[in-house]
Amino acid sequence: MRGAAGVGVAALAAALLSGCNPTADNDSSAVSITAVFQGSDDVVGIFSDVVNDDGTVSDDFFDITVESIPKAGTDPGDFYTVEFEGVQIVYTRPDGKNEPGVDVPFPLTYALGGFVEPGGDTDINTLVVSKEMKLQPPLRNLWFSNQRIFATVNLRIFGHDRVENSVSADASAVVLFEDI
């Protein structure tokens, strides 16, 4: 997303995430990392079917690309390979109604393995909408209806380099929840 609206959402996401940030310090490592949902150069639409035709629910996974950027412009070496620890998912809505379990799904944090070398990038298939989210309001309320919810998924991937500096990156995308 670009432009004023994108900045606004990013600022909102940053404000919401600051209260429960699982990482302490992004500044100490010799690398920083970025994360984007694939295809998200412009507005990305993620579609989430809240219930299958047979009444079961499925986890929804989407790909993100994580890139490592050496701060000094040169390869700082293997000590600065970033090893991932986990992912945090927080949903927000453009109308400002953000109460978990009422307006948006509850936040989700889970462990994730893998790594990215200095200057490298990696694609990761990440869980974005869990079965549990679909079994609870507000997504449960959309089952077999023609209602829909637009939200923004704010994904944070966090980990550490091999000298124990915390590193994280944020990605966001627009999500449309409905019974497709």
By the 10 Å C-beta count (0-12 exposed, 13-18 middle, 19+ buried), 118 is classed as buried
| Region binding Ca ion by CB under 5 A among candidate stretches 21-29, 46-54, 77-85, 132-140 | 46-54
Contact by Cβ (8 Å): 17, 23 = no
In the chain, which residue ranges form alpha helices assigned H by DSSP?
A: 3-18, 131-134
User: Considering beta carbons, is residue 117 or 179 the nearer one to Ca ion?
Assistant: 179
Q: Is 56 helix (H, G, I), strand (E, B) or coil?
A: coil
Residues forming beta bridges with residue 26, ordered by sequence position: none
49 binds Ca ion (CB under 5 A): yes
The minimum distance between CB 140 and Ca ion, in angstroms, equals 13
User: Considering beta carbons, is residue 90 or 142 the nearer one to Ca ion?
Assistant: 142
The minimum distance between CB 134 and Ca ion, in angstroms, equals 10
> What's the alpha-carbon Rg for the chain, to the nearest Å?
17
Structure tokens of 137? 């309001």
| Region binding Ca ion by CB under 5 A among candidate stretches 48-56, 67-75, 99-107, 134-142 | 48-56
User: Considering beta carbons, is residue 134 or 156 the nearer one to Ca ion?
Assistant: 134
Which residues in 71-165 belong to E strands, given as ranges? Answer: 82-92, 108-111, 115-116, 121-129, 148-160
178 binds Ca ion (CB under 5 A): no
| Region binding Ca ion by CB under 5 A among candidate stretches 13-21, 71-79, 110-118, 171-179 | 171-179
Which helix (DSSP H) or strand (DSSP E) does residue 62 occupy? Answer: strand 60-70
User: Considering beta carbons, is residue 37 or 177 the nearer one to Ca ion?
Assistant: 177
The minimum distance between CB 145 and Ca ion, in angstroms, equals 11
The site for Ca ion, by CB under 5 A, has a size of 2
Residues in 104-123 that interact with Ca ion by CB under 5 A: none
Only one residue has tokens 């700082």, namely: 76
Q: Which residues bind Ca ion (CB under 5 A)?
A: 49, 179
